[in-house]
Structure 1
Amino acid sequence: MSYTKAADLLRLADMATARFDGVSLQEITEEFGCDHRTAQRMARAFEAAFPQVEVKDDEDRRRRWRLPRSDPRWLQAQGLRDSELAALDMAAQRAERDGAPDEAKHLCALRDRLLAAMPSSLARRTEADAEALLEAQGFASRPGPRIVADASLLGVLTEAMRAPWRLRVSYRGARDDRPRERLIEPHGLLLGTRRYLVARPADGDGTMRRFRLDRIETAEIAAESFRRDLDFDLAAYASRAFGPYYVDDEYGPVTWRFSPDATATARQFVFHPDQSMTEEPDGSLIVRFEASGHLEMAWHLYMWGNRVEVLEPATLREMVHHHRRADFPVLP
C-alpha cells in the first residue's frame, strides 16, 4: 500500500470516528474526490484495516461505516499534525481580527485541549513546527484599515444568538438625534467595512432589518426567548447587497464592462456570489449580477480607475462617471 493510500485510510478512520452515524460512500467520494467504485474499494480496505468497524444501513438504506469512540488512544496514536495546529492558530487569529472574540477564545481552548491529549514531547515538537509553518506562510495580520470591534458588545450578541434570546438595544438611527430603545430578535451578523446585526423587531411584521453595530449604544439580553425563522437564509439575505448595507429601492440588475487590459485581473474577483462573466470579442469582460448598495459599489469601482465602465444602473453610472481616473499605476 502506498503512503498516500495509508494516509487516506487514516483520514477515513477520523471521519468514521468523529461522525455519530458514521460515513457513507457519497461522503467518501466528496472528501477524496474519487468516483463511486474507488470509494467502494476504500471502504473494503478500511474494513480490512480496522476490523472493529461497525457497518450498518441507515433509514435511507445507505451503508455507513462507523468506528467506536471508546478508545482514547486513537487520538494519541494519530497525534496532531503541525499543519492542523497551524490552521487552528490561523483561524483563531482571523476570528480575533474580524471581531469575533468568542470564536477566537473557543478555538484556542480546542487547540489547548488537543495538545493536552498528546504526549508532551510530541506536543512540543508539533507546536514548534506549527510556529515555523505560520512564519513561513507569512500569516501575521490583515493589512489596511479596519473598524475596531467592541468586544463586550460582540459577546452579548453572540450569547443572544446562541440561545436565542431577545435583545433590548439602545439604537441611534441615521436620522435620530438621540438613541431609541428597541426590542429585537437577532438572526446573524454581516461583516464588512461596517458591521451590521440582522434582526427583526419583536413587535414588527417579521421583516428582517439591519442595525449598524457602531450605532448600538447599549445592548442587554432580555429574559425572553424567541423562535428563529427557520426559513431565513443569512447567505441569501446577504447576497441581495453588494456589501453589508442594503436599500430596497436600489436592488436590481448591475452590469459592468472591464477593459481588455483589466480582464485578466477582473476574472480573479468574485464581485457577487451570483455573478456571471462574459468575454466580448474585443477582449473586454462583462460582469452581471443583481444587488443593492450603489455607494459601496462606487467605493470599489474607484480602485479600477477608467478600466471599468458601468452599463447599468444609470444612477450608479452617474455616481462614478466623474471619478474615473486614468493615472492609477496598478489594478486592484
Structure 2
Amino acid sequence: MSYSKATDLLRLADMATARFEGVSLQEIAEEFGCDHRTAQRMTRAFEAAFPQIEVNEDAERRRRWRLPRSDPRWLQAQGIRDGELAALDMAARRAERDGAPDEAKRLNALRERLLAAMPSSQARRTEADAEALLEAQGFASRPGPRVVSDLRLLGTLTEALRAPFSVEISYTSADSRTSDRLLEPYGLLLGIRRYLVARPVAGDGKMRRFRLDRIGKARITGQSFARDTAFNLSEFASQAFGSFHSDAEYGPVAWRFSPEAAPVARQFVFHPSQEVRDEADGSLIVRFEASGHLEMAWHLYQWGDDVEVLAPEALRDIVAGHRRTDFPALP
C-alpha cells in the first residue's frame, strides 16, 4: 500500500469515528474525490485494517461504516497535525478580528483541550510547527474600513442568541430618535456595518435589522422564546446585496461586465443566487435578486466604466454620472 493510501485510510478512520452514524459510500466518494467503485475498494481495505469496525444500514438502507468511540488512545495515536492546529489558531484570530469574542474563546478552549490529550513532547512539537506554519502563511486581516464593534455588546447578544432569550435594547434610529425595544434575536449579519436580526415582540411579526453601532445598551431579559423554525437566516440575508435591505428596492438586478473586465468578474461571487452568462463578444452578464442600491453603487464604482447596469433602472440612474474611465486597475 502506498503512503498516500495509508493516509487516506487514517482520514477515513477519523470520519468513521467522529460521525455518530458512521460514513457512507457517497460521503467517502465526496471526501476523497473518487468514484463509487474506488470508494468500495477503500471500505474493503478499511475493514481489513480495522477489524473492530461496525457496518450497519441507515433509514434509507445505505451501508455505513463506523468505528467505536470508546478508546481514547485513537486521538493520542493520531495526534493533531500542525496544519490542523494552525487552522484552529487562524479561525480564532478571525473570530477576534470580526468581533466574535465568544467564538474565539471557545475555539481557543478547544485548542487547549486537544493539546491536553496529547503527550507533552508531541504537543510542544506540534505547537512549534503550527507557529512556523502560521508565520509562513501569514495572517492577513481583511483590509478596508470597518466599524469598531462593542465587544461587551456582542457578548450579550451572543449569549441571548444561544439560549435564546429576548433582549431589551436602547436604539437610536436614522432620524436620531432613541427608544427602548424588546426583541427576539435571531442572528447577526457581519460586514462593514453589522446588524442584529431580530423580531420586535410588539409589532407586525416581521424580522428587522438593527445596526449594532446604534444600540446604546442591551439587557438580557431572561425570558426565553420559541424560535420560528420556518425562518432561515441565510435566505433573509440574501435579500440584500450587502447589509441593508429594503422591500421597496428588492427585485431583479443585471450587470454587464466588459470583455476586458469579464475574466476578473468571473472570480467574484456577487450574490449567492447569481446566474452568469458569457456573451458572444466576451462580455459577462451577472443576474440576481436583491436590494440595497446604494451598497451596489459603492461596489460598482470600483469597476469604472467596465460595468454597465442593465437593471434596475433606479440603480442605473445612481451610477450613471460616476463611471470612471481612468482607473488603472480592476478590483
Q: Which runs of 5+ in 1 are unaligned?
A: none
Amino acid corresponding to residue 54 of structure 1 in structure 2: E
Q: How big is the shift at 1:140?
A: 4.0
- Residues in 2 aligned to 1:102 and 1:217: alpha-carbon distance in whole angstroms: 20
Query: What is the one-letter code of the residue matched to 1:121?
Result: S
Distance 1:176 1:168 in 2: 19
Distance 1:215 1:224 in 2: 23
Distance of 1:259 and 1:194 partners within structure 2: 30
* Amino acid of the structure 2 residue aligned with 1:181: D
The separation in 1 between residues aligned to 2:95 and 2:39, in whole angstroms, is 35
**Percent identical residues:** 75
Q: How does 1:1-332 map to 2 (within 5 A)?
A: 1-177=1-177, 179-332=178-331
Structure 2 unmatched ranges of 5 or more: none
- Displacement after TM superposition at 1:279 (Å): 1.9
CA apart distance, 1:202:
1.4
Q: Report the Cα distance in structure 1 between the residues aligned to 2:174 and 2:253, rounded to whole angstroms.
A: 26
SS in 2 for 1:133: helix
Separation in 2, partners of 1:57, 1:312? 51
CA displacement, residues 112-148 of structure 1 (integer Å, 9 cap, x when unaligned): 1111111122111111111111111122422222221
Q: Distance in 2 between matches of 1:328 and 1:294?
A: 22
Q: Distance in 2 between matches of 1:20 and 1:285?
A: 45
Distance in 2 between the 1:138 and 1:230 partners?
40
Moved over 4 A (4+): none
How many angstroms apart in 2 are the aligned matches of 1:246 and 1:133?
41
Deviations 1:192-249 (Å, cap 9, x if unpaired)? Answer: 1101111111123321111111111111111211111111111111111100110000
Q: Secondary structure at the match of 1:20?
A: coil
Cα deviation, 1:145-169, whole Å, max 9, x if unaligned, reads 2221111111111111111111111
C-alpha separation in 1, matches of 2:3 and 2:277: 43
Q: Distance in 1 between matches of 2:143 and 2:271?
A: 23
Q: 1:5 deviation in Å? A: 1.1
TM-score of the superposed pair, with normalisation by structure 1:
0.97
Whole-angstrom distance in 1 between the partners of 2:305 and 2:284: 14
Distance apart, 1:37 and its partner CA: 2.0
Report the Cα offset of residue 84 of structure 1: 0.3
Deviation at 1:58, TM superposition (A): 2.4
Under a length normalisation based on structure 2, what TM-score does the superposition of the two structures give?
Answer: 0.97
Aligned mates of 2:140, 2:132 — CA distance in 1: 12
CA shift at 1:318, angstroms? 1.1
CA distance in 2, matches of 1:17, 1:291: 42
Residues of 2 paired with 1:140 and 1:265: CA distance?
21
Q: Distance in 2 between matches of 1:134 and 1:142?
A: 16
Q: Cα offset for 1:42? A: 1.4
| Distance in 1 separating the partners of 2:130 and 2:321 | 50
The residue type equivalent to 2:49 in the other structure is A
**CA-to-partner distance for each residue in 1:40-98, whole Å, 9 max, x for gaps?**
22112111111111222223322222211121111111011011011101111111111
The Cα shift of 1:26 comes to 2.1
Residue-pair matches, total: 331
User: SS at 1:77's partner residue?
Assistant: helix
